[in-house]
Amino acid sequence: MDKPAPHTTAQSWSIYDQKTNTLLFGKMERERRECASLTKIMTAYTVFKLIERWKVEETTLVTVTSDAAGVIGTSADLLEGDTLQI
């Protein structure tokens, strides 16, 4: 592979090409790890399914509520009143 591995601060990670059955990059990729981001993955999946079902336009803006901004454990640094484009 000609390109350098992407920079990440994760303790372990991997990028795998399923079509060629090849590990492209990795750091401690064989270490057993707990699935730390399952909630984030399922939230994103749910959002994408709702966007598809409700036919939400890509220009739709979502405003962060005080409840959403107050959720502990996020690293997105979202503040109440921030707007995000879907």
> pLDDT tens digits, residue range 1-38?
577 888 888 888 899 999 999 999 999 999 988 776 78
Tell me, what's the pLDDT at 24? 93
For residues 66-79, average pLDDT: 81
Query: Model confidence over 40-66: pLDDT tens digits?
Result: 788 889 988 998 999 888 788 989 999
Spatial distance between the Cα atoms of 1 and 23, rounded to a whole number of angstroms: 11
Spatial distance between the Cα atoms of 16 and 14, rounded to a whole number of angstroms: 6
User: Closest by alpha carbon to 4, among 20, 27, 21?
Assistant: 27
Parallel, antiparallel or unpaired: strands 83-85 and 61-63: antiparallel
Domain parsing of the chain, residue ranges: 10-53, 56-86
User: Closest by alpha carbon to 86, among 43, 49, 56, 45?
Assistant: 56
pTM score:
0.47
Residues 6+ apart with CB under 8 A from 59: 85, 86
